[in-house]
Structure 1
Amino acid sequence: MTTQPAPAPQPGPAAPSAPYDLLYSQTEEELRAAVRALLADRCAPAGVLARAETGRPHDPELWHTLAAGIGAAGLLVPEKLGGAGASHREAAVVLEELGRAVAPVPYLTSSVLATEILLAVACDNADAAALVAEAASGALVCVPALPLTLAPGAPLPAPVHDGGGGVLSGTVTSVADAVAADVLLVLADTGLYAVPADRAAPTPRVPLDLTRPLADVTLDGAAATRLADPATARAAVAGALLSGAGLLASEQLGLAEWCLTETVAYLRARHQFNRPVGSFQALKHRLARLWLDVASARAAARAAADALATGAPDTPLTVAVAQAYCSGVAVRAAEECVQLHGGIGMTWEHPAHLYLKRAKADSLALGTAGHHRGLVADFAELPAP
């Protein structure tokens, strides 16, 4: 009797990826409570506006308490390098609260962008490891000398030239928080360099967002310490931009939540014709739609944070979706906040304009919504129109 060979096994369907965890853990809620309490005590809207009017919005004491006291600066840094060994989920919670308060602190630039760049090169460079440890402790502010508008997936500029031996010359425009930096991370044509801020010449610009100052950084024969070769440097910067864009969505979420909460409270308290303004059907519909948008933005921002934390294979797509969506929601929430507050919303004394300016500036930071929609189309292999 002739036996027939067994049929070759057919490949089954690919195992589905684990769903994103969009819920907040107890640890994240405790971190939120600590950061919110600090900002409520030390970062009231009137104080933020007063500092912004001076042209130097950064609050060093607030930053030291947030970075060193609470330990927020070292959330993304492993314990062996002096950090908390947390993840992007915890950093996202901090950024949500900073967005709710439009806090003038260099968290996004120093504790996210610069930290991610340094972590990517620290394993091969002792100077980078020392810098990331100091930044994690809150002892220094380290800022990447890159335009704030630089987006993930965009070509990386190298306007700075190494004249030999790490002597750098060139100008980088629109660097966020450069005036508060102790160390600048500079991407030059020969690699990544660390430059003490006192060797650079930042020229402040007039920003739309008064709580996140911009400056043009000029290097004229500045001696620098080399941290990485060109290929490693560019890969590190690209990874940092991806993380920064993903976590920026959480800042936009916090901003939108504040605008919604304050607008609802105002419309409940404000009366016309012996009725709360918020009871009018047209306004209820606008608020209901905004609530749905904010709820969707929360899902998108949390998915991006969880994807970054777990290293999910579709992280670039998830981040692009979050930025493409949360950017517009933050702007619309801030616009509604200004309009539905009526006359008082148009005044300088009311903080609504600070949120509108931060939302508008964030919509340009780390890539516009249009740029990220283009990335979504590329990742999803959608045909070009």
Structure 2
Amino acid sequence: MTDLLYSEAEDDLRAAVRSLLTDRSDTTSVLVRAEGGAPYDAELWKALASDMGAAGLLVPEKLGGQGASHREAAVVLEELGRAVAPAPYLTSSVIATETLLGLDTETPEVAELLTALATGRRTAVLAVPLSTSPHGPLPVDASTITGVADAVAADVLLVLKSDGLYAVEKTSVTVVAQTPLDLTRPLAAVTLGDRAAATRLADAGAAERAVRRGLLTGAGLLASEQLGLAEWCLEETVRHTRGRHQFNRPIGSFQALKHRMAQLWLEVVSARAAARNAADALATDSPEAALAVAVAQAYTSRVAVHAAEECVQLHAGIGMTWEHPAHLYLKRAKSDEIALGTPGRHKEALAELVDLQAP
């Protein structure tokens, strides 16, 4: 039977990541960096990726990683979602890393890059739009790719061409920052030149399989980020409504608001089950992993948006201001809703997987 409860090791990892983010990436500092247009904190990434070893959770020990599983990586993403932390963990330590793990890891170029990613010495990004679904078309032989998340923070870009997958140094391409909705996960347009320094990692067939594996894993673990985001929004809303008084009573005691928060709590609990199931299915290489991911993304995406909307609305006037972090969570939730496939696209995939005719 699948055990969706958190293990002691996962709880310890959560405590360590939360402590780090509390010390180095509180919402005030995130707001300041986002407003200044430079959301990334290099010291925070070094502490998380290298010092704590979180970047190598999915990488085997023989390649310099931790040899852990997707369940542990999901815990890290939950905490990053709670803190809406600007860090290239999903894009580099999950999607790009899983893509490389889907190739022949005995190949020297693949093994060397995986080791560099696992130790935090380098970061990599799969050069596809953030909205790319694991089940949809892939940008092959594109000269310019728009909407690439965290490209400005990467050292290496994984580029899909008709004859295979290539590792391209960022210094040999043109990366132009775009204006994103979510200021904590910057997007960029990547233009590949004819003379880009590229290393071929795999042939066309292996490349497409690996890329889809990376995107599927990213979509499954994105649900954990959305879960952490929704949990923070619910907890912050409950805290605010307990302390805010009208008519000499906490507004959280009003029946209409209690019903809204109770409904949201039920949604968050269900989202936790869906996200944990997806992480466990990926960790155990379950034959139903694609099904679990589709269910998780179809559900948690909308729960995260609903939680963020309720957070803004139930904070009333202060929730609409730039100074309060609620808007960061709403923007991240809306951005995540279309990341790696919309809920509708995942519902279509779910219908195909269970042989159910879609409307």
TM range (shorter): over 0.9
Q: Does the 8 Å contact 1:159/1:172 carry over to 2?
A: no
CA distance in 1, matches of 2:212, 2:37: 31
Percent identical residues: 66
Matching residue within 136, 144, 149 for 1:171: 144
What is the match of residue 129 of structure 2? 147
The structure whose Rg is larger is 1
Question: 1:151 touches 1:241 (CA, 8 Å); kept in 2?
Answer: yes
2:58 to 67, 73, 76: 76
Q: Verify the 8 A CA contact 1:42 1:62 in the aligned structure 2.
A: yes
Partner-residue secondary structure (3-state), 1:363: helix
Question: Which of 187, 199, 213 is 1:214 aligned to?
Answer: 187
CA distance in 1 between counterparts of 2:98 and 2:357 reads 33
Structure 2 residue 343 is matched with structure 1 residue 369:
yes
Kept in 2, the 8 Å contact 1:249–1:322? The answer is yes
Q: Are 1:55 and 2:45 an aligned pair?
A: no
Unpaired runs of 5+ in structure 2? none
Tell me the residue number matched to 2:272. 298
Query: Letter of the aligned partner of 1:372 in structure 2?
Result: H
Question: Which deviations, in whole Å up to 9, do the C-alpha atoms of 1:174-223 show, x marking residues without a partner?
Answer: 10000001111111121111111111111110000000000000011112
Aligned counterparts of 1:216 and 1:285: Cα–Cα separation in 2: 44
Instruction: Please list every run of 5 or more consecutive structure 1 residues that lacks an aligned counterpart in the other structure.
Output: 1-18, 161-169
Amino acid in structure 1 at the alignment position of 2:258: K
1:165: which partner in 2? none
Pairing 1:274-285 to 2, within 5 Å after superposition = 274-285=248-259
Identify the range of structure 1 (45-54 vs 248-257) with the bigger mean alpha-carbon deviation. Answer: 45-54
- Select the residue among 228, 231, 241 that pairs with 2:215: 241
The residue identity in structure 2 corresponding to 1:236 is: A
Aligned counterparts of 1:99 and 1:213: Cα–Cα separation in 2:
15
Give the whole-Å Cα distance in 2 for the aligned partners of 1:231 and 1:186. Answer: 14
Measure the CA separation in 2 of the matches of 1:346 and 1:384.
38
What are the within-5 Å matches in structure 2 for residues 341-360 of structure 1?
Answer: 341-360=315-334
CA distance in structure 1 between the partners assigned to 2:98 and 2:126 by the alignment = 10
Structure 1 residues 292-339: Cα deviation after superposition (integer angstroms, max 9, x where no partner): 000000000000000000011111011000000000000000000000
The residue type paired with residue 232 of structure 1 is: A
- SS of residue in 2 equivalent to 1:121: coil
Give the secondary-structure state (helix, strand or coil) at the position aligned to 2:192: strand
Residue in 2 that maps onto 1:11: none
Query: How far 1:124 moved relative to its partner?
Result: 4.4
Answer whether contact 1:204 1:214 (CA < 8 A) is retained. Answer: yes
Q: Which residue of 2 aligns with 1:269?
A: 243
Matched-pair contact (CA < 8 Å) for 2:128–2:138: no
Question: Does 2:135 match 1:136?
Answer: no
| TM-score, normalization by structure 1 | 0.92
Distance in 2 between residues matched to 1:319 and 1:125, nearest whole Å: 29
Aligned-partner Cα distance in 1 for 2:182–2:3: 32
Match of 1:45 among 27, 41, 52: 27
Shift of 1:123: 2.3
The question of whether the paired residues in 2 share the 8 Å contact of 1:143 and 1:178 is answered with yes
Question: Structure 1, residues 22-75: CA drift from partner, whole Å, max 9, x if none?
Answer: 100000000000000000000011100111112121111000000011110000
- Mapped partners of 2:151, 2:347: distance in 1: 29
The match for 1:126 is 108
* Cα RMSD, aligned residues only: 0.8
Distance, in Å, in 2 between the alignment partners of 1:303 and 1:243 is 13
Q: Is the 8 A contact 1:150 1:365 kept in 2?
A: yes
Matched letter for residue 296 of structure 2? A
SS at match of 1:174: strand
Residue 310 of structure 2 aligns with which residue? 336
TM-score of the aligned structures, taking structure 2 as reference length = 0.99
Question: 1:229-283: CA deviations, max 9, x gaps?
Answer: 0111000001011100000000000000000000000000000000000000000
Count of residues in correspondence between the two structures: 358
Q: Secondary structure at the match of 1:290?
A: helix
Q: Hey, what does 1:94 align to over in structure 2?
A: 76
Question: In 1, distance between residues paired with 2:141 and 2:268?
Answer: 39
Q: What's the secondary structure of 2:102's corresponding residue?
A: helix
How far off is 1:159 after superposition? Answer: 3.2
SS in 2 for 1:375: helix
Partners of 2:301 and 2:123 in 1: CA distance = 26
Range that drifts further, 140-149 or 298-307: 140-149
Structure 1 residue 128, shift from structure 2 partner: 1.0
Asked if the contact 1:327–1:369 (Cα under 8 Å) also holds between the matched residues in 2, the reply is yes
Whichever residue aligns with residue 349 of structure 2, its letter is: L
